[in-house]
Structure 1
Amino acid sequence: KRIMLTGPSTLLATLRTVANIWRNEQQNQNALAIAEAGSKLYDKFVGFVESMDGINKALGQAQSQFQTAYGRLVSGRGNLISSTEKLRKLGIKAGKQLQRDLLEKAMSENEDHASLPTAQDQEND
């Protein structure tokens, strides 16, 4: 029945023993709580690493799509920059102008960059 008889000579030793047992029990409960918190933390960390991997893959796909779009803009035969620049040279009125370095890159990339006559060239003829 877990009853212990004590007298005046054993009372202090018995109380210390009971206090040590309670302290050990509290430490065991703390150890179980730490193990449970560690398990939850580990699971969260694994989820975080998986999310970072997903972000990395998405950034790779975004970079690939950007390179494709940029290629259409600047490189190859009939790229968008050289095509629109030909329109400007034909005499359309534009309020803005493309950056010179981007324009030069696009024109050098364009394999078919034989220039069309500009409106100014036609006036001189």
Structure 2
Amino acid sequence: MHASARRSELVLLVFLAVVFAVSSTVVVGSVVHIERAGLVVDGLNDGAVLTAAAVPDISVTAGDDSVLDRVEVLVDNATIATRRDGNRVTLENFSPAEGGHTFLARVRSATPLVLDAKVEHEFTVTRCG
């Protein structure tokens, strides 16, 4: 009976070690992906109040230019057309209605279980500044 209890403890210990190793790899991979992407939204801060004329100045840059072709931009959960312009991504023909909006720029991870890199801002569009 004593040997059976030791074997059960050993199996549990090995199982926990494997779970720890896998979860550590996922967390480190997520952090590396997010840091590598380094998304920055230019022309828009969280809580900003903008006129419609200022919206075309919004762009997205990244710490790693190679991810710019994979940047997705959503406003209020709707995908916005973008264009790569050198080392940034700009919005194409986008003019939001007056009121509050949520801007999300993200790069989806190509690796399963690794978090997407993303930056999100709330903003308001007004008629006049």
* Alignment TM-score > 0.5, same fold: no
Compare the two structures and name the one with the higher strand fraction. 2
TM-score band (shorter)? 0.3 to 0.5
| Higher RCO (C-alpha under 8 Å, 6+ residues apart) | 2
TM superposition score normalised by structure 1? 0.36
Compare the two structures and name the one with the higher helix fraction. 1
